[in-house]
Structure 1
Amino acid sequence: MQIRSPDIHIDADTDLGECPIWDETTETLSWIDLHRGLLCRSAGDAGQIDTVPLPKRIGAFGLRRNSGEVLGLEDGFYLRSAETGNVDLIAEIEPDLPTTRLNDGRIAPDGSFICGGMDEADPQKPISSVYRLDGSGAVTTVISDVYCANALCFSPDGGTMYFTNMATRTLVAYEYVVGTGPVGAPRLIAELAAGSGLYDGAAVDETGAIWVAVWGGRRLLRYTPDGSLDQQVEMPVTNPTCCVFGGADFKTLFITTAQFGLTKEQRAKEPLAGAILSIDLPVGGLPEHRFEG
């Protein structure tokens, strides 16, 4: 597979871009600016960015079945109305752990929202969890002892959920059961060498291969479902953060990036840090699932 270097899709000034989502019904790319508490959108190729300020920092979001979004804000799950803009709390998460926040999430094939947290005070402390929010508003804990949740995505048949507990430097797979969530022991897919970066956000293509951004590693990796490293794409930034398939044929991979964590000197050398990058690929992805609530 021949893959060219990424292009600049949107010359954004994102501090910590994450959670890109392509809405095929409006041909709109959305993403978050995590610490600024912004939901960002851009339609078409004009490069214009519309931002929606949120009441708190945001770790992840997903599109709802009819309209609006389900939000994983720093302290819990919320629903946002597209009509009124109201943001309403559904459930607080980890209120007894003041140093944790929600960090990454994805809508599952069964229409639930899978979202996990992290401890900001000590990312080496596994005190957070991954949660499943269903359409009725019920929340269950599905993975415990989490350092920092990332890379949540699903196989095309919906039977496998991929995940990284970031500090472990491993990418793992769980069996995913509709109506329940991930079950059983995780299966190791891949592992990064110490000092080579950390797995961040990920997406799965139509063949079942996993594309994962490497935070601090300046690259995007593609693994086949058996864990074979199939492709490595060099990035023009230190911290690529996440990716999603979109475009008219779902053959464009959009990649969020971050300025967060860079020194002033590094930022000066990385003018594309914070931009939205894109790569046209010979293989496509699939539409994102929608939240049933």
Structure 2
Amino acid sequence: MTANSIPAYRVETAVASADILGETPLWCDRSRKLWWIDIDGRLHQSFDPATGAHHVTSHDGQFLGSQALTADGSHLLAQDLRLSRRVSDQAPPAEFCEVENGLDNRLNDGRVDARGRLWIGTMDNQLHRPNGALYRVTGDGQVTRLFGDVIVTNGIAFSPDNRTLYFTDTRRHCTWTFDFDLDDGTIRNRRVFADYSASGERPDGACVDVDGGLWTAFFSGGRLVRYRPDGTIDTVIAVPVTNPTCLCFGGNDLKTLFVTTARKFLDPRQLGIEPQAGHLLAIHGVAQGLPEHRFLFG
């Protein structure tokens, strides 16, 4: 079936954040805020749609790779190759566990499953070597390596029925699915879901909606794509930036699609014609999302 292009949906600037590499947007249903990061700027940020307030906290390290909400209300931050627990603005994050060491890598995309485990991957800092891997992290700090041969981990998401794990390697230009056992926390039966290796397109961050559609942002592609569970594309939304990076549903009804973007890799000419590059974008009413799972310490 031919995908439907949706130019009628208005793409708004939610926050003019001018991120170098905005990423990992998550809607918190407790604070009713949208949380996201600037990886290269090492910034942890929040936006309150009710008041318009934008709060920014800077952190140490070379990269702030991703984040997760937690059951106790703190945040889990991926700082370089370690996970840290941020409790408040008044105290620096406390190290929780080291995920990997000894390689020129950093932590990148991650997502929490319905049992409170974090699935997170690493990526090559040079963007071409298969140094990365996917890991499962439990609340007691146990880290399990699941597979390697990854260049850039991205697009980790779970189907609404908790039977499928989606995983993308942006620099291999491919998204895979796995059968997921929620009780055991295991994956098997890896298979190709969407392959862009011939065109070199770069699927990046992802999320799912209530109907099981997988939404993916295309870095350097200027668009968002919705896949049905069978892999067919039914929606394409053009965005006014070259580098959308990740997306999530938020707002009190989970019907606002928030999109992080990047200024990274854009030259002055491109930045001049893309005033929304690096900003947090919002698109209303395109679909409805699901509440984000929370990491469970213990």
Instruction: Give how far 1:194 is off.
Output: 3.8
CA distance, structure 2, for counterparts of residue 199 and residue 42 of structure 1: 25
Could you tell me the percent identity over the aligned residues? 34
Instruction: Give how far 1:44 is off.
Output: 2.1
CA distance, structure 2, for counterparts of residue 75 and residue 127 of structure 1: 13
Instruction: Give the aligned partner of residue 59 of structure 1.
Output: 65
Instruction: Give how far 1:179 is off.
Output: 5.1
CA contact (8 A) 2:49 2:251 kept: no
Instruction: Give how far 1:91 is off.
Output: 2.0
Partner-residue secondary structure (3-state), 1:49:
strand
The answer to whether 1:141 aligns with 2:148 is no
Gaps of at least 5 residues in structure 2 are none
Within the candidate set 81, 89, 92, 1:86 is matched to 92
CA distance, structure 1, for counterparts of residue 53 and residue 287 of structure 2: 27
Instruction: Give the aligned partner of residue 151 of structure 1.
Output: 155
CA distance, structure 1, for counterparts of residue 198 and residue 221 of structure 2: 11
Within the candidate set 77, 94, 100, 2:83 is matched to 77
CA contact (8 A) 2:84 2:94 kept: yes
Gaps of at least 5 residues in structure 1 are none
TM-score (ref. length: structure 2): 0.93
Amino acid at match of 1:251: K
CA distances 1:182-202 after superposition (whole Å, capped 9, x unpaired): 411312211226445300000
The answer to whether 1:68 aligns with 2:74 is yes
CA distances 1:224-249 after superposition (whole Å, capped 9, x unpaired): 00000111110100000000001111
Within the candidate set 246, 257, 267, 1:263 is matched to 267
The answer to whether 1:252 aligns with 2:256 is yes
Within the candidate set 116, 122, 131, 2:135 is matched to 131
What is the total number of aligned residue pairs between the two structures? Answer: 291
CA distances 1:46-95 after superposition (whole Å, capped 9, x unpaired): 43321111222211111110111111111211112237533121222332
Instruction: Give the aligned partner of residue 17 of structure 2.
Output: 12
Instruction: Give how far 1:209 is off.
Output: 0.4
Which is further off, 192-201 or 54-63?
Answer: 192-201
Instruction: Give the aligned partner of residue 108 of structure 1.
Output: 113
Partner-residue secondary structure (3-state), 1:72:
strand
CA contact (8 A) 1:20 1:31 kept: yes
CA distance, structure 1, for counterparts of residue 173 and residue 65 of structure 2: 20
CA contact (8 A) 2:97 2:141 kept: yes
Instruction: Give how far 1:127 is off.
Output: 1.3
CA distances 1:195-230 after superposition (whole Å, capped 9, x unpaired): 453000001000000000000101000000000011
Amino acid at match of 1:118: M
Amino acid at match of 1:80: R
Instruction: Give the aligned partner of residue 285 of structure 1.
Output: 289
CA distance, structure 1, for counterparts of residue 89 and residue 243 of structure 2: 35
